[in-house]
């Protein structure tokens, strides 16, 4: 059995959820495609696909195998490109994802600068406030904030942020300054459900970890909305430091409870592992890493200003 061919056939069937559609795409007979998958399953000793008269679906083993199969095919394609002399100049579409606000503020400017220097590359930038599987969603690289799960992906750290509590000068003048997390019970809290729970906020200090029970007067789903309410003098909120950095630097918001913020949340560039990353990916990582690092350092300077 040609292993590379068998992997390619499997990926085609898995992605199209159909032996007939895969056979049509591969210009083979359905019987030939079925035979290749059967031989592959026999060699591996596991069933990769569930077959019914109406549909084809992945088994648990098939789902795991699909992720690796896609990486193998990508590596083979890059090896062939390099051998043919096409692997030297970055080109093609780069698919990138980042958190919505961080992506708009810090990733998008880097992307546009990158595109101006690499005219043969195009970028699809997906701004999403949810974790995504790079392989399953066909992405080349992600910007991730927070601890990373164990995976075979390559992670290049570019900086860190932290959770901070902020309020306007006007609000503090009218309601006083909270000096410890327990003081938040006496304040109007704007909870941002995308970053933490809306009933408990976890704080860490030199003496250990603790939670503060809060009773939000307002719950929103975006950091922008929470910050708008706080800028208007309504109450206090907790966001990631980059989200309020400009406000703190301008002096329009105050950073509160800084002694209780705890550990930093790392920021990484995350991309699939492999010995032969495409030139467009290598070029973007080399270009973006130092620029993102400088931007993250700028956020740190801003919140300490």
Query: Domain with 250 in it: what CATH number?
Result: 3.40.190.10
What is residue 1's predicted lDDT score, i.e. its pLDDT? 58
The interaxial angle of helices 30-44 and 3-16, nearest 10 deg, is 110
Report the domain count for the chain: 3
Q: Per DSSP, which regions of 227-303 are E strands?
A: 236-240, 253-256, 265-271
Name the residue among 216, 223, 221, 222 with its Cα closest to residue 200: 216
Beta strand segments in the chain, E = 49-51, 56-58, 92-98, 121-127, 141-145, 154-161, 163-168, 189-192, 200-205, 208-213, 218-220, 236-240, 253-256, 265-271
pLDDT at 213 over 80: no
pLDDT surpassing 60 at residue 195 = no
Average pLDDT over residues 25-45: 90
pLDDT reading at 121 higher than 80: yes
pTM: 0.69
Indicate if 154 and 277 belong to the same structural domain.
yes
Residue 268's pLDDT is 94
Q: If you search the block for the tokens 């860190």, which residue do you land on?
A: 160
Please report which confidence band the pLDDT of residue 115 belongs to, taking 50, 70 and 90 as the band edges: very high
Q: What is the DSSP letter of 119?
A: T
Neighbouring residues of 185: CB distance < 8 A, sequence distance ≥ 6 = 212, 213, 214, 215
Residue 150 and residue 125 in one domain: yes
Task: Name the β-bridge partners of 213.
Answer: 200
Together in a domain, 252 and 181:
yes
For residues 193 and 240, membership in a common domain is answered with: yes
Same domain, 221 and 272: no
Count the Cβ atoms, other than its own, within 10 Å of residue 206: 6
Q: Among residues 83, 102, 121, which one ends one of the domains?
A: 83
In this structure, are 170 and 242 located in the same domain?
yes
For 255, list phi and psi in degrees, rounded to 5.
-90, 125
Copy the structure tokens of residue 34.
């079925």
Among 52-66, 67-81, 274-288, whose mean pLDDT is lowest?
67-81
Query: What is the rounded distance in angstroms from the CA atom of residue 92 to the CA atom of residue 21?
Result: 26
Please tell me which residue, 123 or 136, carries the higher pLDDT value: 123
pLDDT of residue 188: 94
**Residues 196, 114 within the same domain:** no
Decide if 281 contacts 182 (C-beta within 8 A). Answer: no
Residue 78 has pLDDT above 70, yes or no: no
What's the pLDDT score for residue 62?
Answer: 87
Q: Of 38, 60, 83, which closes a domain? A: 83
* CATH number where 43 lies: 1.10.10.10
Residues 183 and 43 in one domain: no
What's the mean pLDDT in 242-268? 92
The pLDDT assigned to 74 comes to 73
Beta strands 56-58 and 253-256 are unpaired
Q: Are residues 155 and 293 in the same domain?
A: yes
Last residue of a domain, one of 62, 83, 104: 83
Local structure of 65: helix, strand or coil: helix
User: In the predicted model, what is the mean pLDDT of the chain?
Assistant: 87
Residue range 28-36: mean pLDDT, rounded:
91
Domain containing 296 equals 92-161+265-303
Indicate if 73 and 197 belong to the same structural domain.
no
Query: Do residues 73 and 100 both lie within one domain?
Result: no
pLDDT at 23 over 70: yes
Average pLDDT for residues 169-174, to the nearest whole number? 96
Same domain? For 170 and 21 the reply is no
Average pLDDT over residues 191-203: 69
Radius of gyration of the chain from Cα atoms? 25
CA atoms within 13 A on the CB side of 165: 28
CA of 25: how far to CAs of 15, 37, 87, 115, in Å?
Answer: 12, 15, 26, 33
């Amino acid at each position: 059995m040609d292993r590379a061919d068998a992997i390619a056939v499997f990926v085609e069937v898995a992605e199209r959820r159909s032996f007939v559609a895969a056979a049509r795409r591969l210009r083979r007979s359905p019987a030939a495609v079925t035979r290749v998958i059967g031989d592959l399953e026999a060699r591996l000793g596991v069933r990769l696909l569930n077959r019914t008269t109406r549909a084809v679906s992945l088994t648990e083993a098939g789902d795991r195998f699909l992720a690796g199969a896609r990486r193998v095919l990508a590596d083979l394609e890059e090896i062939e490109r390099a051998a043919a002399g096409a692997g030297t100049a970055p080109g093609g579409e780069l698919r990138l994802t980042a958190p919505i606000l961080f992506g708009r503020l810090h990733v998008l400017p880097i992307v546009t600068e990158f595109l101006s220097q690499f005219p043969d590359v195009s970028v699809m930038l997906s701004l999403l406030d949810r974790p995504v599987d790079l392989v399953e969603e066909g992405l080349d690289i992600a910007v991730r904030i927070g601890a990373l799960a164990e995976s075979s992906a390559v992670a290049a750290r570019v900086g860190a942020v932290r959770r901070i509590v902020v309020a306007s000068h006007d609000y503090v003048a009218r309601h006083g300054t909270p000096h410890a997390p327990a003081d938040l019970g006496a304040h109007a809290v704007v909870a941002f459900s995308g970053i933490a729970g809306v009933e408990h906020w976890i704080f860490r200090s030199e003496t250990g970890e603790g939670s503060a029970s809060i009773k939000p007067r307002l719950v929103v789903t975006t950091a922008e909305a929470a910050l708008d309410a706080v800028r208007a003098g309504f109450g206090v909120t907790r966001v990631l430091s980059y989200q309020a950095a400009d406000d703190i630097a301008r002096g329009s918001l105050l950073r509160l409870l800084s002694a209780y913020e705890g550990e930093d949340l790392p920021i990484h560039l995350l991309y699939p592992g492999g010995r032969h990353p495409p030139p467009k990916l290598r070029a973007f990582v080399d270009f973006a890493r130092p620029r993102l690092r400088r931007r993250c350092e700028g956020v740190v300077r801003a919140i300490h200003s």
